[in-house]
């Protein structure tokens, strides 16, 4: 009984519809985070940022990075979850194969972007006696902002491809998305 409920839950959360809802939700949630990063880089950091400003920006970027890593791992796991729920080794439905490829490709992109952002916040959080990056914080957060914009584009691409699959036009080929 529990196994059947879990199987249905897995199929529900990895469905095309939930993928689109999740992708749109992440994009909507990212907008204020991107705007806050941009605002901090443009205004509050005209001079050397205070310790509080650094910590606030670090928490924002690290939080977004965590969401991207978790979302990326989830998307990458779509095929595995589907196969577990349906108790089969390999997908035969052509549409689901394409959706799995889209999810894996975009999930890997989100995961990598999130990991690089976490590296940036880890560098900033290191004690100065270990690695003094004083004065480079703005550059690192600028790179994290660019990565955040890239993650936003990845999520839009994911939503677009999942939505296009309803019309059979989401042919995910090497070098295209």
**What are the tens digits of pLDDT across the range 30-45?**
999 999 999 988 876 6
Residues 19-25, mean pLDDT to the nearest whole number: 96
- In this structure, the number of other CB atoms found within 10 A of the CB of residue 57 comes to 25
Distance CA 173, CA 177 (A): 7
Residue 13 placed within a domain: yes
Residue 172 placed within a domain: no
Distance CA 177, CA 172 (A): 6
C-alpha atoms less than 13 angstroms from C-alpha of 77 in its C-beta half-sphere:
14
Residue 177 placed within a domain: no
pTM of the entire predicted model: 0.87
Residue 138 placed within a domain: yes
Per-residue confidence band for 168, with pLDDT thresholds at 50, 70 and 90: confident
Which helix (H) or strand (E) element contains residue 15? none
Residue 114 placed within a domain: yes
Nearest alpha carbon to residue 152 among 24, 16, 18, 15: 24
pLDDT at 175: 46
Residue 174 placed within a domain: no
Domain count, the chain: 1
What residues make up the domain containing 148? 2-167
């Amino acid at each position: 009984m529990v196994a059947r409920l879990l199987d249905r839950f897995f199929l529900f959360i990895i469905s095309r519809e939930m993928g689109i809802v999740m992708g749109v939700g992440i994009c909507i949630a990212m907008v204020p985070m991107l705007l806050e990063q941009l605002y901090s880089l443009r205004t509050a950091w005209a001079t050397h940022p205070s310790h509080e400003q650094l910590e606030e920006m670090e928490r924002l970027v690290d939080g977004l990075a965590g969401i991207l890593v978790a979302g990326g791992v989830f998307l990458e796991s779509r095929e595995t979850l589907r196969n577990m729920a349906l108790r089969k080794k390999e997908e035969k439905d052509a549409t689901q194969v394409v959706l799995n490829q889209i999810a894996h490709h975009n999930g890997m992109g989100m995961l990598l972007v999130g990991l690089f952002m976490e590296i940036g916040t880890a560098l900033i959080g290191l004690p100065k006696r270990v690695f003094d990056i004083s004065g480079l914080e703005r550059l690192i957060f600028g790179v994290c902002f660019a990565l955040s914009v890239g993650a936003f584009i990845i999520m839009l691409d994911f939503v677009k491809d999942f939505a296009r699959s309803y019309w059979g036009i989401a042919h995910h080929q090497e070098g295209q998305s």
